[in-house]
Structure 1
């Protein structure tokens, strides 16, 4: 799979994502459900801790990807839903570190929502991956 970044403006790179990517030579595609800060039994964790919720949500996404023999490097699109955009942005370095160490900057959308499926949850990440 070949990925070519498309960035008519450089500002999004400072935030860790490309405006778009051309993806060619793709084989499998994995559509991931939104991953949140829940444990293996589906119980919410890290109430009122945005950073903890982002980290656990990414951990859960990595587990799903690994089950499909993929990593964050395979992610070609990210959608983030949060009940507090400002607090999520304060902690977005967590995403930058995880994707950045793989030299990945998938196109991303960040949406503020009034709530997520379970009231203690503040952050949810949905991804599409390919290889």
Structure 2
């Protein structure tokens, strides 16, 4: 698989993502549903924004591994949150995950009125290529 990162500017480098990621010659694409702070029984887990981001990333990682893909091949990550201000206060968790997985995906952040369950603060969806 070959990827080409497209960044016409440099400001996004401070946020650890790319404006676009071109993928050539991949062997598969995994489109992950939004992952949130949900336990193994499917129940929401109470917690602050930092804890919910961490658990959502843990759940995303499990989905990616179960599918047989590598987290380093994550090319797109979208975030949905009920508070952009609270999300950015814990953005170090996002940067940390990007660095740990050695990926620099294209990304979008959207503030929404609510998520699937009351108490959820953030949901993370991703696209991974093989």
How many residues end up aligned between the 2 structures? 130
Q: CA deviation at 1:112?
A: 0.1
Q: Which range moves more in the overlay, 114-123 or 92-101?
A: 92-101
SS of equivalent to 1:63: helix
Kept in 2: contact 1:83–1:112 (CA 8 A): yes
Kept in 2: contact 1:76–1:128 (CA 8 A): yes
2:87 and 2:125 map into 1 onto residues whose CA distance is 15
In structure 1, what is the equivalent of residue 35 of structure 2?
35
Kept in 2: contact 1:72–1:99 (CA 8 A): no
1:102 and 1:38 map into 2 onto residues whose CA distance is 21
1:72 and 1:86 map into 2 onto residues whose CA distance is 27
Q: Deviations over 1:14-62 (max 9, x none)?
A: 1010001111111111111100001000111133x00000000000000
Q: CA deviation at 1:2?
A: 1.0
In structure 2, what is the equivalent of residue 99 of structure 1?
98
Q: CA deviation at 1:70?
A: 1.6
SS of equivalent to 1:34: strand
- The alignment's TM-score, normalised by the length of structure 1, stands at 0.95
Superposed, which structure 2 residues align to 1:77-116 within 5 Å? 77-116=76-115
Q: Which stretches of structure 1, 4 residues or more, deviate above 4 A after TM superposition? A: none
Q: Which has the higher strand share?
A: 2
Unaligned runs of 5+ in 1: none
Unaligned runs of 5+ in 2: none
In structure 2, what is the equivalent of residue 127 of structure 1?
126
- The alignment's TM-score, normalised by the length of structure 2, stands at 0.96
